Amino acid sequence: MPTGAARFDMWWGSFEPPVIDVLEQYEPPPGVLAAFGRPATGTAGFRSSHAEALQAARIRSLARASASGVTNYVRVELVSLLASDLPRARAFVAGQLGPLASTAEPAQRLRDTLLAFLASGGSATRVAKDLYVHQNTVAYRVKKAEEMLGHKVSSRPIELTCALTLAAALGPAVLAAEGDGGGVPNR
């Protein structure tokens, strides 16, 4: 059903649940974006799945080039909730990350390392293996990030993880302009 100048909403019924992995691996033609919510039954299920698909499409449009052509609401649910008020999300990211909220590549590298570090429970060894860098590089980046933040990453890990997650998913939509990096090192 057309729901806008360049937008169609669609749905399908099935006796078998859809294979989500297959849906996520679909590569739409260039310029076509797809988003979907959780499969559900009945009229209420249709409404909730449609609402989720709309939110997934919203997050996909905010993420622009950094996201794939197909967006599953389940994969972006936390970001959708955190970015429900985009101006406040930007302020939150800026407040939590300070100079790390820059779009500059060195700041992104520190954010990526920090998010991986927090997600691993603070294991520099695991992060080093996942990022293909030396363990000392991870330790250096975490220390540098702490210096830039002005506090230990363990002091507010939930807030920091949420801000880093928003930055990773939405990039420039929640980050400061590139010139605001404040001398982030290139290591």
Residue 4 reports pLDDT greater than 80: no
Per-residue tokens: 100: 């790390």
pLDDT band at 122 (very low <50, low <70, confident <90, very high): very high
Under a CB-based contact definition with an 8 Å cutoff, are residues 71 and 35 in contact? yes
The CATH number given to 85-180 is 1.10.10.2840
For strands 70-72 and 34-36, give the pairing: parallel
Q: Which residue has the tokens 């955190």?
A: 82
Under a CB-based contact definition with an 8 Å cutoff, are residues 69 and 23 in contact? no
Residue range 123-139, pLDDT digits in tens: 999 999 999 999 999 99
Residue 78 reports pLDDT greater than 60: yes
Residue 42 CA, distance from chain mean position: 31
Q: Boundaries of CATH 1.10.10.2840 in the chain?
A: 85-180
pLDDT band at 67 (very low <50, low <70, confident <90, very high): low
Under a CB-based contact definition with an 8 Å cutoff, are residues 175 and 139 in contact? no
Give the per-residue pLDDT at 79. 94
Residue 28 CA, distance from chain mean position: 21
State the DSSP string of 10-48: -----SS---HHHHHH--PPTT--EEE-----HHHHHHH
Measured distance CA(76)–CA(10) in Å, rounded: 20
Measured distance CA(49)–CA(47) in Å, rounded: 6
Average pLDDT along the chain: 87
> pTM of the predicted model, to two decimals?
0.81
